[in-house]
Amino acid sequence: MMKALKRLFNTTRPYFESGGRLEKLHPLFDAIETVAFAPALTTTADAHVRDSLDLKRFMTFVIISLMPPFFYGIYNTGYQSGLASGLDPGMVPVMMRGAWVVLPMLMVSYAVGLFWELLFASVRGHHISEGFLVTGLLFPMTLPPTTPLWQVAAGISFGVVIGKEIFGGTGRNILNPALTGRAFLFFAYPANMSGDRVWTVVQQTGQQAVDALTAATPLALAPLAASGGSVARILTDAGYTFQRLFIGNLPGSVGETSALMILLGAIFLVLTGVGNYRIMVGGILGVLAVAYPGYLINLSSGGEAARMFSVHPAWHLVMGGFAFGIVYMATDPVSAPGMNLSRWIYGFAIGALTVMIRVFNPAYPEGVMLAILFMNLFAPLIDHFVIKARLRKRVPNV
C-alpha cells in the first residue's frame, strides 16, 4: 500500500515542480505528501541540529492532546442540546447531535483556512506549515456551538490573514492566530458570541423547537449579582458546583467547558515536552495571587467588595475558558516568550489579568482571551529585559 502511494507521489511530482504545469500548486502537493511521508530534505550547511521533535511531530502531539476536550465538546454540545430540546439522552444520540453541530464548524475552519494558507504559500513560494492543522482545530473549539458557519469562515480568515500571514506566516506572528480570529468575532458580532442563548443548540421536538431555555454559562450569571447577591450563591442556586465545573457538563464554548479533559491534554503536552509547564503553572499562580486576597477582603467586608471576589479562588481556574486558554493558547511557542524566567512572568501576568478583567469589567466577565492577546504583545519585551538582566550579570555595564 505504502509503496504504491510512494510511486504515485514520485510519478506526479514533476507536474508540481519548477517548470511543471501545476507549479503554482506545489505547496498543496508538498503538504499532502508530508502528511503521508517524512520530508526527504536535509541540511547542507552548518549548524546541524539533531532532534527527534520536528515541526510535524510537534503539531501532531498538540492535536493528540486536543482530542479529550474535542470529543467531550462534541458530547457536551449534543447533551446540552438534548437537555434543552427534550431529546434522547443516550450516548449515541448525544454524540450524533453534537457531531452534527461541531463537525461542520471544523470542516469550514479547515477548508477556509487551508484556502488562505495555500494562497499565501503559492504567492510567496514557500511550504504550507503544519501549524495550520492546530489553528484550524483550535479555532472552532473556542466558539459557541450556535456560531453560524459563515462567521466561522470569517473568523478563521481574519485569524490566518491578519493574525499570521501579514507578519510573514508561521513563526513570525506575534499574536495567536486562533485567538485573534476569536477576538474578531467577539467584537464584530457580540450578539452571537455572548448572552444567555448562544451556548446551546435548540433542536426541533415535534411541531416546534423548545422555546423556554436558560443556558447561561457560569460567568454569564455574574452580572446578576449586581442586585446585591453574591456570585457564589447565584452559581450554587443555578446548580453550578465545583465538581460540575471541573467535569464540564454545562453550557459553553465547544472545547472550554471540561477542565478535566483539558488537564489530561496538559499532562500529555508536558510529558512530551511540547507544552511548557512554566506558563501553565505561572498562570495558575497568577489567578490565585489576585483572587485569593480579594476573596479574603470580600469575606472580611461582609460581601461588600467586588462581586467576583465572592467566588472561591479555585473556581476561577475551572470557570470559563481559563483552563483551555492557559494550556493551549498561552503556550503557543511562537507568540509566547522563549526564556524560562520570561515564561513564568508571562503565565503569571495572564492569570492575574484574567481575574482583574473578570472582577472589574462587568461587561466582559471572561477575561482570558484579552489577557493572552495583551501578553502576546509584551512577550518580546519580557524576553528582552530577561536577556538583558542575564547579560548584565556576566558583562558589567551592558
1-38 tens-digit pLDDT: 677 777 777 788 777 777 777 777 777 667 666 666 66
pLDDT at 170 over 70: yes
Question: What integer pLDDT is reported at residue 153 of this predicted model?
Answer: 96
Q: Where are the alpha helices (DSSP H) in the chain?
A: 2-16, 26-36, 55-85, 91-124, 131-141, 149-161, 177-188, 231-237, 242-247, 259-271, 277-300, 313-318, 322-324, 340-360, 368-394
Q: What is the pLDDT of residues 103-147, one digit of tens each?
A: 999 999 999 998 998 888 878 777 777 778 899 999 999 999 999
Residue (of 215, 258, 246, 306) closest to 75 by Cα position = 258
Is the pLDDT higher at 45 or at 338?
338
pLDDT at 61 over 80: yes
C-alpha pair distances (Å), 335 with each of 113, 176, 293, 298, 318: 19, 6, 30, 36, 24
325's grid cell: 486558554
pLDDT band for position 185 (cuts 50, 70, 90): very high
Average pLDDT, integer, range 194-210: 63
Distance linking the first and last C-alpha atoms of the chain: 60
Question: What integer pLDDT is reported at residue 50 of this predicted model?
Answer: 61
43's grid cell: 541540511
pLDDT at 385 over 90: yes
SS3 376: helix
Question: How far does Cα 148 stand from its chain's mean position?
Answer: 19
Residue (of 166, 176, 140, 145) closest to 155 by Cα position = 140
Average pLDDT, integer, range 184-211: 71
Question: What integer pLDDT is reported at residue 38 of this predicted model?
Answer: 62
pLDDT at 380 over 50: yes
Question: What integer pLDDT is reported at residue 267 of this predicted model?
Answer: 96
Is the pLDDT higher at 46 or at 118?
118
Question: What integer pLDDT is reported at residue 235 of this predicted model?
Answer: 74
Distance CA 44, CA 50 (A): 13
Question: What integer pLDDT is reported at residue 75 of this predicted model?
Answer: 95
Question: What integer pLDDT is reported at residue 354 of this predicted model?
Answer: 93
Distance CA 252, CA 262 (A): 14
pLDDT at 43 over 50: yes
Question: What integer pLDDT is reported at residue 222 of this predicted model?
Answer: 59
Is the pLDDT higher at 100 or at 366?
100
Distance CA 113, CA 117 (A): 6
Distance CA 302, CA 298 (A): 6
Question: What integer pLDDT is reported at residue 210 of this predicted model?
Answer: 41
> Among positive and negative, which fits the CA dihedral 228, 232, 237, 240?
positive
| CB neighbourhood size of 90 (10 A) | 10
Distance CA 280, CA 328 (A): 9
pLDDT band for position 67 (cuts 50, 70, 90): very high
Average pLDDT, integer, range 173-191: 91
Q: Identify the residue whose cell numbers are 472589574.
A: 360
C-alpha pair distances (Å), 92 with each of 69, 82, 219: 18, 12, 30
169's grid cell: 506566516
Query: Residues, the chain, total?
Result: 398
Q: Do 152 and 105 contact (CB within 8 A), yes or no?
A: yes
Residue (of 18, 21, 376, 28) closest to 9 by Cα position = 28
Residue (of 330, 347, 328) closest to 69 by Cα position = 328
Q: Is the peptide bond before 47 cis (omega within 30 degrees of 0)?
A: yes
Q: What is the pLDDT of residues 76-92, one digit of tens each?
A: 999 988 888 778 788 99
C-alpha pair distances (Å), 350 with each of 42, 84, 178, 364: 39, 35, 17, 16
pLDDT at 268 over 50: yes
pLDDT at 326 over 60: yes
pLDDT at 41 over 80: no
Lowest-confidence range among 146-160, 187-201, 276-290? 187-201
Radius of gyration of the chain (CA): 23
pLDDT at 184 over 60: yes
Is the pLDDT higher at 226 or at 39?
39
pLDDT at 206 over 60: no
Q: Do 81 and 97 contact (CB within 8 A), yes or no?
A: yes
- Average pLDDT across the chain, whole number: 83
Distance CA 28, CA 118 (A): 6
Q: What is the pLDDT of residues 275-316, one digit of tens each?
A: 999 999 999 999 999 999 888 887 777 655 556 677 788 888
SS3 208: strand
